[in-house]
Structure 1
Amino acid sequence: MRIVIAGGHGKIALRLERLLSARGDTPVALIRDPAHADDVRAAGAEPVLADLEKATVTELSEKVMDADAVVFAAGAGPGSGAERKDTVDRAGAVLLADAASLAGVRRYVMVSAIGVDEGPAPGSDPVWAAYVEAKRAADADLRERSEVLDWTILRPGRLTDGPGSGRVRLASSVEKAEVPRDDVAEVLAALLAEPASTAAIGRVLELVGGDEPVDEAVEAAVA
């Protein structure tokens, strides 16, 4: 399968690209900075330049044309302000959905965040609140597109950089906890493989570290 990954130089994305390439898929990484191209190639992916904050829907649709699936794994990242939480985490996700629809690519997997439907807690840091609201709005937009997109929303808990254990807890609702980025990538890879991919359409799944092997957790969650 040809799978286009927005945010293709992020830690989750690079791990996902390695996993997809190793199993014979063709990952395509959308990157904003040409300096990241070598890292993406080393992960087994094809680098394609695309700035989600500047591209038009037509330009982006040309980048995702002929893909079997798209994955939104982009984010404004640490140190960014509230404005970029909106322009990347919300507007970028919406733009990718528009582009996928225009290109006729139905499968869309969104990397969101656990608990965003609850909204930010009272008194939250303004930038964190903007991030939560951006993720919530992007998810809500995607859930309205069932006629044109076969979507799945994955909501990880607090992300860590430690090595993945390959064991997780995945369900429509789980207690908030941490999860390594490596394990998020493994779950994404599993959600993009059949038969789990078809079974996961229209599902919102929360993910944290746990005791169940990834493949078993995914199979149970989408059953």
Structure 2
Amino acid sequence: MKVFVIGISGAVGGLLAEELTGRGDVVSGLVRRDDQRAALASRHIEARVGDIGVMTADQLVPLLSGFDAVVYSAGSNGGSRAVTDAVDGEGVVRTLEAAGRAGVTRFVLVSVLPEAGRELHLDDDHEHYFAVKKLTDVAVSLSDLDWLVLRPSMLVDRPGTGRVALGPAQPHDEIPREDVAATLAELLHEPRIRRQVLELNAGETPTALAVRARIR
């Protein structure tokens, strides 16, 4: 499988690249700086340099052509509204359009649990972040592609456990980034799981079994 990862230099994107290359997949992605591209090249992963916040669909089409799947794992993490709109909103929509035009059939969006900020008295920028994330999920769900939206709980840097809870609704808690990447890799390799919004949390079910349980 050939997979292009938007946000491959991020924590989850980088871990996903390792998971996929370990399976023998061909992985590429988009980074913002040459030093990030060089770091990935040292791990035998090719990347292209560009800013997803400003790139047009026309610019993205040639980058995505020839790939089987696109994973969008870039995010502003609740920064300024302008960055949120560009990366978490417009960037996703443009990439979705470009994927369709490039002949990519599979599109996976790493989103966020909608309850993540409830009762935390967030500032306006973070409230805007969650609103944009929700609207982007809707845009992806209306696509003609074989899409998936994965909403992980709060990401933490603890070692993965290999056990998760995956389904249409999960409580907001914590999950290691390694487990998110492993779940993404399993989902990418299960084409029967398509056009679903899935929430992901730490759990007790082995990752592969949790993914297979979502086949319908």
1:130 to partner: Cα distance: 1.5
**CA 166–122 in structure 1, closer or farther in 2 if over 3 Å, else same:** closer
Does residue 162 of structure 2 align to residue 166 of structure 1? Answer: yes
Match for residue 211 of structure 2 among 210, 214, 218: 218
Q: Could you tell me which residue of structure 1 aligns to residue 67 of structure 2?
A: 67
Aligned length: 216
Q: Could you tell me which residue of structure 2 aligns to residue 143 of structure 1?
A: 141
CA distance in 1, matches of 2:146, 2:32: 26
SS in 1 for 2:5: strand
* Deviation >4 Å, runs of 4+: 118-123
CA distance in 2, matches of 1:119, 1:10: 22
SS in 2 for 1:222: coil
**CA 168–139 in structure 1, closer or farther in 2 if over 3 Å, else same:** same
CA distance in 2, matches of 1:176, 1:53: 28
Contact 2:40 2:47 (8 Å CA) reproduced: yes
CA distance in 2, matches of 1:53, 1:213: 36
Which piece of structure 1 moves more, 118-127 or 162-171? 118-127
Contact 1:15 1:43 (8 Å CA) reproduced: no
Contact 2:54 2:86 (8 Å CA) reproduced: no
Does residue 176 of structure 2 align to residue 180 of structure 1? Answer: yes
Contact 2:11 2:177 (8 Å CA) reproduced: yes
Contact 1:18 1:45 (8 Å CA) reproduced: no
1:115 to partner: Cα distance: 2.1
TM-score (norm 2): 0.94
Q: Could you tell me which residue of structure 1 aligns to residue 200 of structure 2?
A: 207
Contact 1:173 1:205 (8 Å CA) reproduced: yes
1:122 to partner: Cα distance: 9.0
Q: Report the aligned-residue RMSD.
A: 1.8
Contact 2:54 2:91 (8 Å CA) reproduced: no
Q: Could you tell me which residue of structure 1 aligns to residue 103 of structure 2?
A: 104
TM-score (norm 1): 0.91
What are the equivalent positions in structure 2 for 1:2-21 lying under 5 Å apart?
2-21=2-21
1:123 to partner: Cα distance: 4.7
**CA 43–185 in structure 1, closer or farther in 2 if over 3 Å, else same:** farther
1:175 to partner: Cα distance: 1.4
SS in 1 for 2:52: coil
Q: Which amino acid aligns with 2:129?
A: Y
Q: What is the aligned-residue identity percentage?
A: 33
Question: Structure 1: 5+ residue runs without aligned partners?
Answer: none
Q: Could you tell me which residue of structure 1 aligns to residue 56 of structure 2?
A: 56
